């Protein structure tokens, strides 16, 4: 099947943003990543499906064994497959590039797995929103769980840091967490109260994260030093973030219908999406060097990797 495509420019001089329709709005594209096969892989959170999209627009969908499992975040694994969280039925899913899927039940009931990433130890690491734990799943499906030292923390996104540890956001504890592959945990409180961090990424030197409630982008060094950069629109509700290079990060503004870019010194550039209220969630660096975002209303958006071509730019920090 070939996806429907649209080209749009939001005003004169700004970069063209290509939107591709991949599903109806009830399916809800949510997570997105680049697979080892050079295609983009998406979760259809409301449809219980995984989708594969090639750069030339070829689309394949793979129904999961439960239409209501809510596949959420997806990431490539060290085994050449894609791994994803199923937040509704509390399982970790795995799908090969040929579309063969299986899943593994998280031992703690009602765990609500959400974020997932490949660890430095050959396993996948994931967060458990509902039960305040970090999980590790080996290639054979064996799961180990590590309880957090705080109740009601709501761990969200997770990524591997440049120090060989796993770093994660604590949405309700207002902190950034770090866990070693041996299970040692440290928490770093955020300066801004009620910031509600969600997405997190590593640029190879530091960790960058978004504060959905405070409308800020944060940077944390591996020694725990935190800098926050407020967005021009504090109600933009930044959701996910990905690093393209050191000091070069891109993020979604779910509440403002934009894709944003931030540099190491805090310069922020924003690009309006062509379709109104498209609900950008996940974001990934594509195999073509462009930025790709999942739009929950039924599409994906591609933003070419050029800078400052007519978009508004502002440098602010606190």
Task: Given the residues 46, 90, 239, 281, select the one marked as catalytic.
Answer: 281
Judge whether 269 and 307 are in contact, CB under 8 Å.
yes
Angle 32-294-228 (CA atoms, 0-180°, nearest 5)?
Answer: 85
What does the alpha-carbon distance between residue 29 and residue 297 come to, in Å, rounded to a whole number?
A: 7
The yes-or-no answer on residue 188 being catalytic is: no
**What is the Cα–Cα distance from 47 to 70, expressed in whole angstroms?**
7
- Which tokens belong to 175? 């902190």
State how far the Cα of 63 lies from the Cα of 51, in Å rounded to an integer.
9
- Are 171 and 154 in contact by the 8 Å Cβ rule? The answer is yes
β-strand partners of 2: 58
Rounded CA separation 209/21 (Å): 28
Catalytic residues: 281
């Amino acid at each position: 099947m070939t996806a429907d495509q649209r080209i749009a420019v939001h005003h004169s001089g700004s970069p063209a943003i290509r939107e591709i329709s991949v599903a109806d709005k009830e399916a809800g594209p949510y997570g997105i990543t680049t697979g080892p096969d050079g295609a983009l892989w998406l979760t259809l959170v409301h449809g219980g499906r995984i989708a594969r999209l090639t750069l030339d627009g070829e689309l394949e969908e793979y129904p999961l064994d439960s239409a209501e499992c809510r596949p959420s975040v997806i990431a490539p694994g060290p085994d050449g497959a894609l791994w994803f969280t199923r937040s509704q039925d509390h399982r970790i899913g795995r799908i090969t590039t040929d579309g063969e899927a299986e899943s593994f039940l998280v031992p703690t009931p009602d765990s609500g797995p959400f974020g997932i990433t490949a660890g430095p130890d050959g396993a996948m690491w994931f967060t458990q929103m509902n039960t305040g734990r970090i999980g590790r799943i080996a290639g054979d499906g064996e799961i180990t769980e590590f309880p957090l030292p705080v109740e009601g923390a709501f761990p969200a996104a997770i990524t591997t840091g440049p120090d060989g540890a796993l770093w994660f956001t604590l949405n309700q504890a207002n902190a950034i967490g770090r866990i070693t592959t041996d299970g040692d945990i440290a928490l770093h409180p955020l300066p801004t109260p009620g910031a509600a961090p969600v997405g997190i990424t590593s640029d190879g030197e530091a960790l960058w994260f978004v504060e959905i409630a405070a409308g800020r982008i944060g940077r944390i060094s591996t020694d725990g030093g935190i800098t926050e950069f407020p967005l021009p629109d504090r109600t933009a509700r930044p959701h996910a973030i990905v690093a393209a290079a050191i000091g070069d990060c891109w993020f979604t503004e779910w509440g403002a219908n934009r894709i944003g870019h931030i540099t190491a010194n805090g310069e922020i550039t924003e690009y309006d999406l062509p379709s109104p209220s498209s609900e950008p969630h996940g974001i990934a660096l594509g195999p073509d060097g462009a930025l790709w975002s999942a739009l929950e209303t039924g599409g994906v958006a591609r933003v070419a990797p050029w800078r400052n071509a007519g978009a508004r730019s502002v440098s602010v920090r606190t």
